[in-house]
Amino acid sequence: MRIAIVDDIESERKELHQRVSARLECHAISAEIFEYNSGEPFLTAAKQNKFALVFMDIYMGNENGIDISKKLRSFDKNCLIVLTTTSTEHALEGFRVRAFQYLVKPYTENELSEIIDEIVSKLPVPDKYLDVRVVGGINRIRLCDILYAEHYKHCIHIHTVNGKTTVTRKTFSDFVAELNGDERFFICNRGIIINLEHAKDYDGSAFTMDNEEKISVSRNTAKSARAVFGDFLFKRGQV
């Protein structure tokens, strides 16, 4: 997680840096925190590598944090902006740059903690992964990258979105158990499980995957496949 602190007063940057780091450690979140004493170096850095969060001081000598935030929004719509200020009189302007929150100086430890906690609640949850034993070592595969997996000749063949296939010696039941009931995965027939995230369509007898492969569904599973796929799309807001 990349975080920027933009403030022309060094002591206040350092204090905020230390307190944000401490609070993120409580959430077991690692972050790179960068300090800037003016807008231009911050904007240059933000164009090269986006920040997830910026603490932006409003009053900085001849610069105004609202103006810097407007420039940021011209190329980054998603960065969370927390405006640090001695006054809330810029509330309307903050709304216009979609400021996430205000941190009014001097702020308390509890006020900062509440903002950090709220930010953390909005961060995407890192996807789970499997450590797959292969010849020569271990391959780490993110669950979101799996198209489908099939059991063949005492091995699991894991097909991923990059077109590669990873083969590991394992029973089908053991492989399914490692997925730990993840709702994205559906067993189509004996020995084949698909990732519904990458299913484009279901015609009642087979799923069409993102790579245009068709995965047959057993006759006994056909009805439940339609229901499960429909529920999955509904939860994802796709229907």
Residue 27 makes CB contacts below 8 A (sequence gap 6+) with 116, 117, 120
| Cβ–Cβ under 8 Å, residues 80 and 53 | yes
CATH 3.40.50.2300 positions along the chain are: 2-122
CATH of domain 2-122: 3.40.50.2300
3-class SS string, the chain: CEEEEECCCHHHHHHHHHHHHHHHHHCCCCCEEEEECCHHHHHHHHHHCCCCEEEEECEECCEEHHHHHHHHHCCCCCCEEEEEECCCCCHHHHHHCCCCEEEECCCCHHHHHHHHHHHHHHCCCCCCEEEEEECCEEEEEEHHHEEEEEEECCEEEEEECCCCEEEEECCHHHHHHHCCCCCCEEEEECCEEEEHHHEEEECCCEEEECCCCEEECCCCCHHHHHHHHHHHHHHCCCC
pLDDT means over runs of 10, the chain (239 residues)? 94 94 86 94 94 92 90 90 78 70 86 89 75 90 94 96 94 95 93 95 95 95 94 74
Predicted confidence at residue 105, as pLDDT, reads 85
- Backbone phi, then psi, for 137, in 5-degree steps? 155, -145
Single pTM value for the model:
0.54
CATH of domain 129-235: 2.40.50.1020
Predicted confidence at residue 166, as pLDDT, reads 96
Residue 232 makes CB contacts below 8 A (sequence gap 6+) with 183, 184, 196
Predicted confidence at residue 193, as pLDDT, reads 98
Predicted confidence at residue 126, as pLDDT, reads 64
Predicted confidence at residue 67, as pLDDT, reads 93
CATH 2.40.50.1020 positions along the chain are: 129-235
140 token code pair? 């780490």
Predicted confidence at residue 194, as pLDDT, reads 98
| Cβ–Cβ under 8 Å, residues 233 and 184 | no
